C-alpha cells in the first residue's frame, strides 16, 4: 500500500464513483400490485410513466407519501388552464392518483396534500413533483382492464372513460 499510494487512491475513487452511479431498483412486485420507492432528484411523474410502460399496466390507482418539491394547480374553468403554485421541500402527507392511457401514452391524474415544517397544509391537483430529501413511497394497485382518458368539452379537461 505504501509503494503505490496513487494506485490505491484511484482504486478507492473508482469504487466510490461506481457506488454512487449504480442504479437502484425503483419498484418491486407485491401480492396486491407494486411498491415503488423513489429517491432524491427523481421526477415522480416520469418514473410512474416509465413504470406503466415497462410493466404494461392496463390501468391502476396509487397512493403515496414522502418528501417532495411540488407544483400544484387549481383548474380555472373559464380559461381551461391550471393556475400553478410551487412548494419546496414539503412532506407529501397523502398522494392519490390513477394511471390510464391517452394516445398510447400513460396518462396520470394525481392529487395530494403536502405540509411544511410549521404543519401548514396545502393540496389539490398535482402538476409535477420531484423527490426532495429522503424518499417517496408509492403503492400501486393494478386493474385488469385498460382504461383511457379523453378530452371532454365543454369541460376542457381529460376524463377517465369507463368503457
Question: What pLDDT sits at residue 104?
Answer: 95
Is the backbone peptide bond immediately before 130 cis, with ω within 30 degrees of 0?
no
Domain with residue 121: its CATH number is: 3.30.1330.80
Is residue 34 situated within a structural domain? yes
Percent of all residues in the chain with a pLDDT value above 90, rounded to a whole number: 79
Number of domains present in the structure of the chain: 1
The predicted model gives 49-64 an average pLDDT of 98
| Residue 82 confidence (pLDDT) above 90 | yes
On the 0-12 / 13-18 / 19+ scale of CB atoms within 10 A, 97 is: buried
Per the CB < 8 A criterion, the answer to whether 138 and 153 are in contact is: no
Measured CA to CA, the distance from residue 107 to residue 150 in angstroms comes to 10
Q: Is residue 147 part of a domain?
A: yes
Q: Check residue 163 and give its pLDDT.
A: 77
Residue 1 pLDDT greater than 60, yes or no = no
Q: Is residue 66 part of a domain?
A: yes
Distance CA 156, CA 163 (A): 20
pLDDT of residue 4: 52
State the DSSP H helix or E strand holding residue 48, giving kind and residue range, or none if neither. Answer: helix 44-54
- What is the pTM for the complete model shown? 0.83
DSSP 153: T
Which has more pLDDT, 3 or 60? 60
Which structural domain range is residue 148 located in? Answer: 24-161
Q: What is the pLDDT of residue 156?
A: 87
Q: Which pLDDT score is estimated for 127?
A: 98
Amino acid at each position: 500500500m505504501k509503494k503505490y499510494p496513487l494506485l490505491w487512491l484511484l482504486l478507492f475513487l473508482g469504487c466510490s464513483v461506481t457506488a454512487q452511479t449504480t442504479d437502484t431498483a425503483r419498484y418491486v412486485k407485491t401480492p396486491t400490485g407494486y411498491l415503488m420507492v423513489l429517491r432524491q432528484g427523481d421526477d415522480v411523474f416520469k418514473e410512474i410513466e416509465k413504470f406503466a410502460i415497462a410493466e404494461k399496466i392496463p390501468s391502476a390507482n396509487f397512493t403515496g407519501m414522502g418528501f417532495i418539491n411540488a407544483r400544484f394547480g387549481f383548474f380555472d374553468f373559464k380559461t381551461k388552464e391550471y393556475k400553478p403554485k410551487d412548494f419546496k421541500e414539503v412532506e407529501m402527507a397523502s398522494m392519490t392518483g390513477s394511471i390510464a392511457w391517452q394516445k398510447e401514452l400513460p396518462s396520470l391524474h394525481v392529487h395530494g396534500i403536502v405540509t411544511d415544517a410549521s404543519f401548514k397544509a396545502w393540496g389539490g391537483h398535482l402538476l409535477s413533483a420531484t423527490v426532495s430529501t429522503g424518499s417517496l413511497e408509492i403503492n400501486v394497485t393494478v386493474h385488469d382492464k385498460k382504461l383511457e382518458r379523453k378530452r371532454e368539452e365543454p369541460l376542457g379537461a381529460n376524463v377517465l372513460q369507463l368503457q
